[in-house]
Amino acid sequence: SKVATERLIRKATVSSSVQTVAIKGIGYEFEPLVVIISKRIPAKIKLDLTEFDNADGNWEIVDYKQKKVVSTFKGKQEIKQVDFTSNESGTFGIYKDRKILGMIEVVDNLETTDLESVRSKFL
């Protein structure tokens, strides 16, 4: 795929004891598709669903390896803040109506994580 890595994958920004990252839903797609966050630091994920088709309903964050729902939230066409923390590194999917729309990659070290290696893992 020729899409720029920055549009597909985005790292969170860490400041003091919190990390933030934004995802925008347009039509039926998320940009970026993958957000990278650091383990053990509470993350505030800004999920902009104002232009997302069919945003209403139940959303889930699922631990990909354990196939376990770790968080749920109600969606509608608005900007939603999703709080998420993982003490372990791993991959989590953002699901709506059992369809995966985006991924959260939790890493040991945000600084040293290479975007291209994450891209090759997913895309």
Question: Which amino acid type is present at position 121?
Answer: K
| pLDDT at residue 107, rounded to an integer | 98
Neighbour tally for 111: CB within 10 Å: 8
pLDDT, position 1: 60
The two beta strands, 43-52 and 57-63, are unpaired
Q: Which residue segments constitute the domains of the chain, with CATH numbers given?
A: 5-117 (2.60.40.420)
Tell me the pLDDT of the chain (123 aa) as tens digits: 678 888 899 999 999 899 999 999 999 999 999 999 999 999 999 999 999 999 999 999 999 999 999 999 999 999 999 999 999 999 999 999 889 999 999 999 999 999 999 999 987
